[in-house]
Structure 1
């Protein structure tokens, strides 16, 4: 009887929706390291921002190999504007990437954006909802970009300050790369305002053909540097064993909620399990949800005392 009471209390649906015993924290993972420049690009949007020169948003792009950033001011964040900005400011300069990672924003989930990627032969990867860590490279760049724009003498006119802010970020020394991102893209350091440096001799000039040969040789020796997950040392991994066998799960409600609203939604049936995500049927439709938002649902079963009769 004690076991039946324990199981009955454990399967209370209202209690499971309202209580948090311990959040699921899956082990950190990363994308496969690209083998060449501009092969894998991360895309995202910043905004809405205060209007500046008719712009209210910024399209951000990061090359996973070199960490080269682009930030394009946008008058709005609709799909046609985003597609045109990416085409003119990235593809026209660096070519078509093989892979493209975005979140599940409406601009990137639209039929037009999927059609755009299909026409250019781009493999479009989308992160799971409410899990910005999946696009962490561009999210970290957002922090740097916002801090730099706030530090300018006139942050309200951020669109006019953006080009010089990007110059600073591209030429800043990075310990993980042991160089600036501009060095990996251009094969040499960009010249910065001369008043910051002591004039130096540029050395003997090279024939353009010889310079191209040296540059190609240097790029052949390049090796990709995988991103360093800073949270590895402090992140406490926890995945409940029940989650690996549960037929149903609760999904954490991460969007803004009303006071006293349940913390979890569900329970929902599990259709497939993957190392970092589960496929869950929500109102009859399949949804891919990150493990970090899930909690095993304990469903009612016949009491053991009755089953033995």
Structure 2
């Protein structure tokens, strides 16, 4: 038998960061059993706190990945993405888009999948938990996807000193009924399949009940309160912060009307001149210039 003597590329070192969002690992989970035409899940894992984000996708092409990650990058200050050299991540369109957003790209070496092992392990946990949820409830995997995400982000980890990824990211533990008891924070062994099913069911029920109660009590569906104390609403004039060098004072774009709110930390702004499509910008990167339906003008902050 003829043995190839071609040398394999040298392995790229595994990147472990000590800062939030300094490096986020990407990978596709799938193909899965088609559910409402969804066959893949894009998975992102923060290298520092192991926090997991998931997006169900119809296909694993570059266009779909760019659509989801553009919103993600505009919401979180991601410094770099690390992935394997799959077609979507290695495409010119993906590289150009990330470059325009100021995000660095890092790739695992060919023939060395362990270079992306951080997200590969999470993919295994994701598939295992989805399987357990489907078997335990009979519902589709898509119905359990975000419940699995919450469960993974609320599992104690040895690497985090017994804390959860959610706790490290938000500074507080997510309260979950029937799970907020002795031994949860300092568990030394991972949950088995039955434990995961219990976690998922309790988490999903808690979040659904909490969301419904909050909406019913406030009657507000499209508002959020920012750290600086104002409640953004559609029509408010806001200025978007422009990235500049650290030694310079922050610079802002001209005021534009806010079109709406997406999620809990993102506002929707009109497209830039010559561009297509609305922009999704983190609330931390905008400041209020003029309140809609009010004559009160705010003082422009130049510091």
TM range (shorter): 0.5 to 0.7
Question: 1:93 and 2:107 equivalent?
Answer: no
2:160 aligns with: 177
- Please say if 1:63 is aligned against 2:46: yes
Pick closer, same or farther for the CA change 1:106–1:147 going to 2, 3 Å.
same
Q: TM-score, normalised by structure 1?
A: 0.53
Q: Which secondary structure does the structure 2 equivalent of 1:151 belong to?
A: helix
Instruction: Please provide the CA RMSD for this pair.
Output: 2.9
Instruction: Give me the whole-angstrom Cα distance separating, in 1, the residues matched to 2:32 and 2:137.
Output: 14
Q: Deviations over 1:45-86 (max 9, x none)?
A: 111111113311000001111111111100111111111112
Structure 1: gaps spanning 5 or more residues: 1-13, 200-207, 210-309
Q: What's the offset of the Cα at 1:36?
A: 1.8
Larger Rg: 1
Measured in 2, the distance between the counterparts of 1:118 and 1:70 equals 21
Shift of 1:176: 1.1
1:109–1:27 distance in 2 versus 1, CA, 3 Å: closer
Count of paired positions: 180
Question: 1:51 and 2:8 equivalent?
Answer: no
**What does 1:201-216 correspond to in 2, within 5 Å?**
none
Taking the aligned partners of 2:4 and 2:180, their CA distance within structure 1 comes to 61
| Structure 1 segments (4+ residues) deviating >4 Å | 26-29
CA contact (8 A) 1:53 1:157 kept: no
* CA-to-aligned-CA distance 1:95-130 (integer Å, 9 cap, x gap): 2x2221111111011110010111012111111223
> Mapping of 1:267-282 within 5 angstroms?
none
Correspondences of 1:247-286 after superposition (within 5 Å)? none
TM alignment of 1:122-141, pairs within 5 A: 122-141=103-122
Change (3 A) 1:28 1:113: closer
CA–CA separation in structure 2 for the residues paired with 1:129 and 1:73? 26
Q: What's 1:189 paired with?
A: 173
- TM-score normalized by the length of structure 2: 0.54
CA–CA separation in structure 1 for the residues paired with 2:100 and 2:11: 35
- CA positional deviation for 1:34: 2.3
Other structure's SS at 2:140 match = helix
2: CA distance, partners of 1:197 / 1:80: 41
8 Å CA contact 1:50–1:156 kept in 2: the answer is no
Deviations 1:5-40 (A, max 9, x none): xxxxxxxxx64449xxxx99x999432x42421111
Q: Distance in 1 between matches of 2:80 and 2:52?
A: 16
Partner of 2:146: 163
2: CA distance between counterparts of 1:36 and 1:126?
19
* Larger deviation, residues 126-135 vs 151-160: 151-160
Which residues of structure 2 form unaligned runs of 5+?
183-225, 228-303
